[in-house]
Structure 1
Amino acid sequence: MDIRQATDADFAQIWPIFRQIVAAGTTYAIDPDTDRAGARRIWMDAPRETWVAVEDGVVLGTYYIKANNAGGGAHVCNCGYMVASDAQGRGIARMMCEQSQVRAVELGFRAMQFNFVLASNVGAVGLWRKLGFEEVGRLPEAFDHPELGYVDALVMFKRLG
């Protein structure tokens, strides 16, 4: 498995992963009807960097890194991670998160914050906790889950060293 910075050509393989995850509407607060151009803006153009986890030329996962805020908050980064459904359970999200923390420090960030982790996404919440993220806030019923109804969203934070 190689985790490397994404190229424009990688978006052809990122798009199906993005589309499947966002269309499900169960983990990201992104319009499920986001088209390819919108996905490209969100995942490739707006972030500071986008990365891919590749095995045998196939993109199995991807993440972005960007400043969480501007000005006085620009020292805290935000990342988003997606793993192809047929590659889940292989530790790819863990590898990407660990690598993203190293990259964040290289870019000068002092902390990483996840703004909207759904409490119902127990796999992600558990992984982020194992990797040292703390729940620093809870937004009651902040997300209308298509199967579970209104669920809480967590704000999770980790200082980077």
Structure 2
Amino acid sequence: MLRFRQAEPEDWPAIWSILEPVARAGETYCWDTTMDEAAGRLEWFPGPAGTDPSLRVVVAVDEADGRVVGTAQLHANRGGNGAHVANASFLVAADAGGRGVGRALAGHVLEEARAAGYTAMQFNAVVQTNERALALWSSLGFTIVGTVPGAFRHPGVGPTGLHIMHRVL
């Protein structure tokens, strides 16, 4: 069973333990694969506190052992006249993959986005080779509205596309 809550500063070591291997692998996010912990923290909690009032960072906690097994950030995709569309990023601990953590976390974040008044959610850069993410987002009603060819340098397959995905909330 999972419990979702706002991330607290003391969650950072657990979040970093999930984020770091994803960053190092360089297969699913447009992040510097050599980022250090400070850069990782700025990626997940950008700017000084309160800089982006739309930013919400949540964690998924396994109630069996109290361990953080996933995290997500939710925020406006753009500001101003684009602020009604949400954007989100998701991370799941490698040893929690395949247990439905990502799907449950996505459901929670979609509900939070609706409750916050967003009318849609957009992902700006879903790596074309990330089949698990594509299957999850498609099953949750997201569609690919465009692809930027060769925009991602995958370490194993070389240049591949970045999909832009969207769904109405």
TM-score, normalised via structure 2 length: 0.92
Q: Which amino acid aligns with 2:60?
A: A
Name the aligned partner's letter for residue 58 of structure 1.
R
Q: CA deviation at 1:12?
A: 1.1
Aligned to 1:17: 18
1:95 and 2:104 aligned: yes
Aligned length: 160
Could you say which residue in structure 2 is the equivalent of 1:52? Answer: 59
Give the match's secondary structure for 1:69. coil
1:27-106 equivalence runs, <5 A: 27-46=28-47, 48-55=55-62, 56-106=65-115
Q: Which amino acid aligns with 1:132?
A: G
Question: SS at the partner of 2:17?
Answer: helix
Amino acid at match of 2:20: R
- In 2, the alpha carbon distance for the partners of 1:137 and 1:4 equals 33
- 3-state SS of 1:33 partner: coil
In the other structure, the counterpart of 2:131 is 122
Which amino acid in 2 is paired with 1:34?
Answer: M
Identity across matched positions, percent? 41
Structure 1 length normalisation: TM-score?
0.96
Distance 1:85 1:148 in 2: 21
**Counterpart Cα distance in 1 of 2:105 and 2:96:** 13
Which letter does structure 1 place at the counterpart of 2:137?
W
Distance 1:125 1:115 in 2: 13
**In structure 2, distance between residues paired with 1:34 and 1:15:** 11
| CA RMSD, 1 decimal | 1.0
Q: Distance in 1 between matches of 2:89 and 2:35?
A: 16
Structure 1 counterpart of 2:122, from 113, 121, 143: 113
The answer for unaligned runs of 5 or more in structure 2 is none
